[in-house]
Amino acid sequence: MSIDVVVLAAGQGSRMKSALPKVLHPIGGKPMVQHVLDRAAKLGDIKTHVVIGHGAQQLQGALEGQSLTFALQTEQLGTGHAVAQAMPAITGSGVALILYGDVPLTSSVTMQALVDIAATGKLGLLTVQLSDPAGYGRIVRNDDYQVIAIVEQKDANPEQLAISETNTGIMAVPCERLSKWLPQLSAENAQGEYYLTDIIAMAAQDGVEIAAIQPESEEEVQGVNNRIQQAQLERWYQRQQAEALMVAGVSLADPARLDIRGTVSHGQDVMIDVNVVLEGKVILGDQVTIESNCVIRDCVIESGAHIKANSHLEQAHVGPACDVGPFARLRPGTELAAQAKIGNFVETKKAQIGVGAKISHLSYIGDAQVGAGANIGAGTITCNYDGVNKSRTEIGADAFIGSNTSLVAPVTIGKGATVAAGSTVTKTVADSELAVARGKQRNISGWQKPVKR
């Protein structure tokens, strides 16, 4: 059976007050509409149609490269009209699942349940009981408790307004029925719109059973119309992720103070302190500890590593049992071998740091290789940029770089070599040599201190 997913995303979203189309606003760092597409993709072999209108170009650009069909709705004449725009591309005779691009967190399980209903020839409708149903379409049932219609808020009589069961807008419909009903819609209603919801009464008329199911939680069907609702849904989404991590054995000092904007995989006994942001693809080994206020984006952190407070890591690979921070900044291309130590106010970029090497304080190490066991003194700088080109610095195993050294790249420091503190190194230092490249100290005896004039 074919599944055609129709995602409605042509509305303006004016209450977001944004230059960005509403459905591109993120939840957990991912555009809302992408959540919808990703969840629908779990249904298996589907064809997806996105109905676009406002911000069509921007939206199409943002979703480029995915296997989607776009249907342009030049005028927003209602949800029924929107679905109709996708119909020419719906060739399957199976089920159409209708989703909203601004209702991001409907679960695949709920979607599947609706599809399963429609696969039997019925209409699967997702409804929800709301204590405050204002604004939503109301579900009208007959004396046998069968759904017979949906009436929109603006068209409802007082009796209908008192109904608390509301339409989420999400439904699954046999395609052949849908293509028959849509052309029969009329815009003769309070809003002058072609309401998709009018197909419910048509179904009832045609003797098609309407099976209403409810989502597991209200948030699953919550739409985002403004930034307050976006933030509310963001909190719920983060709570879900935090709980999933805890269930899987990760300790969180405060589940409300972790934000995941991407995916996290992890080993056993990971500990995460407060105010940590994990972005992109983050892979954590066993017994990794992340202290407070760290931002970690697209990183692999191997077992036993300890990331101390206020560190920022991006596209870095941290080897087993490494010690990073506090206040460290690992930039893209940083690779720490096992037991390396990066201390406070150290910035690294495109740097391979060997096993057990230490860069403990106040350094910039970029475009560099540091051998195993090397010790980089406080304030060491790799001068990798001459204003035009970037050059590399090679530091051999067990080398000792004295504090406040400038290594002017390209330059090589041999294995076991020592560089005296305060040196500006411009030439190769051979293995085991001592390099001293600084002004010689002169002591002047009998020197008179100046006196105040």
| List of residues contacting ligand UD1 (CB under 6 A) | 8-11, 51, 73, 76-79, 81-82, 100-102, 136-137, 150, 152, 166-169, 195-197, 223
DSSP-derived secondary structure letter, 432: T
332 interacts with Ca ion by CB under 5 A: no
266 labelled catalytic: no
Q: Which residue, 13 or 402, has its beta carbon nearer to Ca ion?
A: 13
User: Residue 196 Cβ, how far from ligand UD1 at the closest point, in Å?
Assistant: 4
Closer to Ca ion by Cβ: residue 103 or 365: 103
Q: Smallest distance from the beta carbon of 312 to ligand UD1, in angstroms?
A: 36
Asked whether the beta carbons of 171 and 125 are under 8 A apart, the reply is yes
Smallest Cα–Cα separation from 248: which of 267, 225, 229, 261?
A: 267
Going by their DSSP bridges, the two strands 364-370 and 393-395 should be labelled as parallel
Name the token pair of 331.
């930039």
Instruction: State the Cα–Cα distance between residues 121 and 11, nearest whole angstrom.
Output: 30
CB of 136 to ligand UD1, least distance (A): 3
Residues 50 and 70 sit within 8 Å (Cβ to Cβ) = yes
166 makes contact, choosing from ligand UD1, Ca ion, none, with CB < 5 to 8 Å by partner type, with ligand UD1
CA-wise closest residue to 412 among 426, 394, 434: 394
Omega of the bond leading into 410 within 30 degrees of 0 (cis): yes
Contact 254, 271 (CB under 8 A): no
Which residue in the list 81, 266, 312, 361 is annotated as catalytic? 361
Judged by CB under 5 A, does residue 223 bind Ca ion? yes
- Helix (H) and strand (E) counts for the chain? 8, 37
Answer with the entry of Ca ion, ligand UD1, none that 215 interacts with (C-beta below 5 to 8 A by kind).
none
Report if residue 54 touches Ca ion, rule: CB under 5 A: no
Q: Based on C-alpha coordinates, what's the Rg of the chain?
A: 31
Among ligand UD1, Ca ion, none, the one that 11 touches (CB under a kind-dependent 5 to 8 A) is ligand UD1
- Selection from ligand UD1, Ca ion, none that 82 binds (CB < 5 to 8 A by kind) is ligand UD1
| Shortest reach from residue 99's CB to Ca ion, in Å | 13
| Closest distance of CB 25 from ligand UD1, Å | 12
C-beta of 163 vs 353, nearer to ligand UD1: 163
Provide CB contacts within 8 A for 204, sequence distance 6+.
146, 147, 148, 149, 210
Residue 196 or 272 having the CB closest to ligand UD1:
196
Q: Between helices 32-41 and 108-119, what is the axis angle to 10°?
A: 50
Q: Which stretch binds Ca ion (CB under 5 A): 16-24, 152-160, 223-231, 257-265?
A: 223-231
Among all residues, which ones are annotated catalytic? 361
